[in-house]
Amino acid sequence: MDSINFFKGYGKVNNPAGNQQPASNRRRRILLAASLAVFLTIVLGAMIGALIYESATEPPESEEEQLPASDSGESLKTVCAVTQYLDSCINSISALNDPPKSDPVHFFNLSLQVSQRELASLASLPKTLISKSNDRRAESALKDCVNLFDDSLSQLNRSAELMKVAVVGPAEKLLTEMRISDMQTWISAAMTDQDTCLDGLDEMGSTVVDELRTRVHKSSEYMSNSLAILNNLKSLVDKFGLKMP
């Protein structure tokens, strides 16, 4: 009987591992979970740090595209950069000595004034050449130029009048896409009138065409500048971070 009790108790005394094994497994799982948590924390921290550094070193896209409104000279260069005749645009507008104002709409208005003044000065030249000419064919072509230049100036004046109203009145209502389209049509027509004048003198084989061509070329440059600024007005306004009128 004693031997039977001995064997029954033997299994309980000599099998301690059966009670200790689950505790050991739990410790290993805890250590593994803790190590994984630390690893994930390090990776997450590195990713957050990289995002913070990137956002701190790279300005927002809107800041890169917008230009400071304080430097009128640089603003004028930016506006004139859309034209075919950069130097002509900058020099002619700067010569007006207008108070600095970094606004593409304002620069377009000044460019239009330059075009008006040059064309007004040019409009009287055909009459002067007529008085000096003994060539009847040339006189006929020059008379056509007088009418063409008058019409050209009238087209520019229509644009200028619209801009005067826009500057004084609520520009956001006046400078609509339709009105901008009207000015594009008028300025283009003014340039066409000048080309038609030169074509007529060429057909007549007139000797005064070269003298007139030099002045027309300068006037056409100014109108080309105005038209280019007008064509790019919306993108320029956006680039300056302003609201389109």
| Any domain includes 120 | yes
State pLDDT tens for residues 175-187: 688 889 999 999 9
The chain-wide mean pLDDT, for the chain, equals: 78
pLDDT above 70 for 1? no
Residues 6+ apart with CB under 8 A from 66: 239, 240, 241
| Any domain includes 196 | yes
Nearest CA to 104 among 72, 63, 137? Answer: 72
Average pLDDT over residues 221-231: 96
Residue 93 burial by Cβ neighbours in a 10 Å radius (0-12, 13-18, 19+): buried
Stretch among 36-40, 63-67, 239-243 having the lowest mean pLDDT: 63-67
**pLDDT at residue 69 in the model:** 44
**pLDDT at residue 10 in the model:** 45
Domain of 107, CATH number, reads 1.20.140.40
**pLDDT at residue 227 in the model:** 97
In the chain, the N- to C-terminal Cα span, in Å, equals 111
**pLDDT grade, residue 6 (50/70/90)?**
very low
Domain assignment of residue 106, given as a range: 71-240
**pLDDT at residue 166 in the model:** 59
| Any domain includes 228 | yes
**pLDDT grade, residue 147 (50/70/90)?**
very high
| Any domain includes 136 | yes
CA atoms of 179 and 185, how far apart (whole Å)? 10
Please give the C-alpha separations between residue 49 and each of 36, 53, 56, 205, in angstroms, as whole numbers. Answer: 20, 6, 11, 76
CA atoms of 151 and 149, how far apart (whole Å)? 5
Gyration radius of the chain's alpha carbons: 40
Q: Can you say how many angstroms the Cα of residue 157 is from the centroid of all Cα atoms in its chain? A: 27
Q: Tell me the HSE value of 185 on the side-chain side, using a 13 A CA sphere.
A: 7
| Any domain includes 220 | yes
Residues 6+ apart with CB under 8 A from 87: none
pLDDT above 80 for 93? yes
Residues 6+ apart with CB under 8 A from 110: 93, 96, 98
Residue type, position 231, single letter: N
Split into its structural domains, the chain has a count of: 1
| Any domain includes 141 | yes
Q: Tell me the HSE value of 68 on the side-chain side, using a 13 A CA sphere.
A: 5
| Any domain includes 20 | no
Average pLDDT over residues 145-166: 90
> Contact, 93 vs 114, CB < 8 A?
yes
SS3 175: coil
Which has more pLDDT, 244 or 115?
Answer: 115
| Any domain includes 178 | yes
**pLDDT grade, residue 13 (50/70/90)?**
very low
pLDDT above 80 for 58? no
* Owner of token pair 């019409």: 151
